[in-house]
Structure 1
């Protein structure tokens, strides 16, 4: 369930960048004016829109999540410093806080993708350990069977009685007699 929630959260976080990048590409003139108002060349409108769109798609699809998260963190920090630096204006301060929250979500996406890589490596190592343990258990059981067979053969040869067998259920086939276990000791 945790992985499902992380994937949904990552897709919703990526949706912000996908929609923002697409709107920048649909309104290149407006985006150029906004970028030029911050003192940057207006020709950055298309590269910024393409970057946001592609990075959002990569984040949503889970492709290179750690690298994309780091790039989007840097991009969001730069966008916050350049475009939302008037903290006395309530709208600008709300946008800056929104960007801080997005940075936090990107940090979680970065950390969670590392966690699953670590989880899969632990799972792979554990599978190897279990295979070794299973092989050792099978070898031990084979040794026990051989020792029991040898002991039974020796007992038959010497005439000792190894196992008490009797017909317990009356079907004509003798079963080994087992001691009944007691649940309470009184």
Structure 2
């Protein structure tokens, strides 16, 4: 049961980053313009895409999952502050709090690891 829960948790946490990173590739110019509108240099978009897709795949596969989760947690907190922390806008604040919850789950992976199954820990507990 633990192996199933570990894998399910990693799938649920990684899917948002994988889908988001792929979406940024297909809407590159629009994403870059939005970043710049929010005061973030558009030249950082390749790093954002690499962080989201690379971190998601590492987390999903259980490869260096603690480091991937740490990177994704930092990314999630930073992007939440930049793009969603708008106290006067309830919907943006809900998105900000979701970012906080995602970062919390990722920090649990930093603390406890990905568990089995995964590349770093294929069998056992």
> What TM-score comes out, normalization by structure 1 length?
0.59
The equivalences for 1:47-62 within 5 A come to 47-62=47-62
Identify which range, 2-11 or 16-25, moves more after superposition.
Answer: 2-11
Q: Distance in 2 between matches of 1:6 and 1:115?
A: 6
Alignment-derived partner of residue 100 in structure 1: 100
Q: Which has the larger radius of gyration?
A: 1
Name structure 2 gaps, 5 residues minimum. Answer: none
Q: Distance in 1 between matches of 2:91 and 2:47?
A: 26
More contact order relative to length (CA 8 Å, sep ≥ 6): 2
Q: Which runs of 4+ in 1 moved over 3 A?
A: none
The equivalences for 1:21-170 within 5 A come to 21-113=21-113
Tell me: CA distance 1:66–1:16, structure 2 relative to 1, closer, same or farther (3 Å). Answer: same
Q: Distance in 2 between matches of 1:53 and 1:112?
A: 22
What is the DSSP-based 3-state SS (H/G/I as helix, E as strand, rest coil) of the residue aligned with 1:87?
A: coil
Q: CA deviation at 1:50?
A: 2.2
What is the DSSP-based 3-state SS (H/G/I as helix, E as strand, rest coil) of the residue aligned with 2:86?
A: coil
Q: CA deviation at 1:28?
A: 0.4
Q: CA deviation at 1:114?
A: 7.2
Q: CA deviation at 1:18?
A: 0.3
Tell me: CA distance 1:23–1:115, structure 2 relative to 1, closer, same or farther (3 Å). Answer: closer
Q: Distance in 2 between matches of 1:70 and 1:35?
A: 22
Q: CA deviation at 1:115?
A: 7.0
Tell me: CA distance 1:114–1:20, structure 2 relative to 1, closer, same or farther (3 Å). Answer: closer
Q: Report the number of matched residues.
A: 118
> What TM-score comes out, normalization by structure 2 length?
0.85
Q: CA deviation at 1:44?
A: 1.7
Name structure 1 gaps, 5 residues minimum. Answer: 124-186
Q: CA deviation at 1:49?
A: 1.4
Q: Distance in 1 between matches of 2:88 and 2:50?
A: 31
Q: CA deviation at 1:47?
A: 2.2
